[in-house]
Structure 1
Amino acid sequence: MKPSITITSSVPSRLLNPASGYLKGYTHTLNPYGGCTFACSYCYVREMPVGKFRGEAWGSWVHIKLEAAERLERELRLAGRKGPLQIFMSSSTDPYQPVEYRTGLTRSLLEVMAASDNPAFLLVQTRSPLVTRDLDLLRSLGSRVRVSLTIETDLEPVRRAFTPSAPPLAARLKALKELVAAGIPAQAAVSPVLPSSPRLADVLASTGVTRLCVDDVFMGDGSQGKRTQRLGLHKLYEALQLEEWNRPDAYLRVIETLKTRFPEESIRISQEGFLP
């Protein structure tokens, strides 16, 4: 039985926040929600103020941002006066976590983007098959959007050990295949790298995807892995007897596996893979 989720809401002072650090290729980040009930064990947000000092366990709460569509419409108009926008959605939550089924908040933001005269680029980062609900809006955005779908491993037992509340791999792979078939610019984000098998390349190739991003907690948590080290993930690797994957060079194994099915130029590493 899953624990109950605390849901709160408020009108934010703003939706678009300046991007920096790992996301310096973007002008802004866009987070429809606060918190994330997928509660991934390796999530770097657990060690950020929003996750660490709230007083509630990460994954047990979600905060809904009210009047988001109206605010985004206004902020796109104002921010766009300073030049082209590149927006990352989302940097500290999943825009398609379960509460989105009820609120449709992320969909309302895509509707604003699709109707806007602002030629902003939007990267949608998610691990949820719910993203396929919005194929119509994603298609209307054309080259102004890219969906980055997280598939960290091809081994379902590993997925369950590290992200028990996240969607199963089969559903994600089906969603990625649908995105590609619909002509939506998409990539598979092997991020962060988790223990996988040599079949990973075949599994991803079966979706038709032609762009991949490989990242790990050492390169991609914004602190050279220091945030993630404090989460105690080594215990999970030890329990699975897969300690050899908890190394800064483990991602190279994945790169070599992917090269058996994908050209090298289609494989991007860490920050490069998420840039506009």
Structure 2
Amino acid sequence: MSVHPVEPSAAAPRPALNLPRLRDMAARGEKLAMVTCYDATFAQLLDAAEVDIQLVGDSLGNVVQGQSSTLPVTLEHMAYHTACVARAKRQAWLVTDMPFGSYEASPQQAFESAAALMRAGAQMVKIEGGGDIAHTVRFLVDRGIPVCGHLGLTPQRVHALGGFRIQGRDEAAAAQLKADAAALAQAGAAMLVLELVPSALAREITQAHPEMMTIGIGAGAGTTGQVLVLHDLLGLTSGKRPRFVRDFTREPGSAADAPGLSVAQALRRYVVDVKAGRFPDEAVHGY
């Protein structure tokens, strides 16, 4: 059985994205589109759809490995999938999650883990946590490793948070999230994922730190960009679909038996709708 590569689009491919280009796009007000990716085939498809940032997420524990959480994912797993994506992608910026247990012990441990992921092809690493890991973020940034933070619902700390629930709803929790965001920005984080936080709070954090690009997931439309898990975007979510997810293989309001979009069309629709401000829709997807 033969396997055929994804055909390139007729248009000339755009130049490869880097951190200065992403910052310029954000400064111009262009929304950034991020999608998780775990293999070479989808890396090509995401490039063809002009997704700006590919995230090798530890969500692969859920959607690839069949785990009930991200906690069993190892550094070796992340390096393997990063290498698969890096070999195929040509245009997008590549971010990889630092998995649970790979950075918490010390900044030196974090550096060694991040170095392994960078050798596998990552261009930036993502770390969950706020002020408690700011010194680790600074340690990495000072050694030439770009860092993306992650606040709000942090899946690696799901047991401590009491489950998958919205974060920052009361005044004290919102103040803590703002303080954590400020600490990460001061430490040099270039990007910050905000997951499951109220739209107004995500917008406030974004406006307070223009030097740090914010990527929302269940955080409203006021962030610098958006991210979705690939499988959610393609309508492959098992169980109840989270409120912030949209199935891009279906036209909004279409009948259940209406023809769906292809994977390539769905990915392109996601990018177009993020950049046009049509996704997320605050009334439908916001908190």
Q: TM-score when scaled to structure 2?
A: 0.43
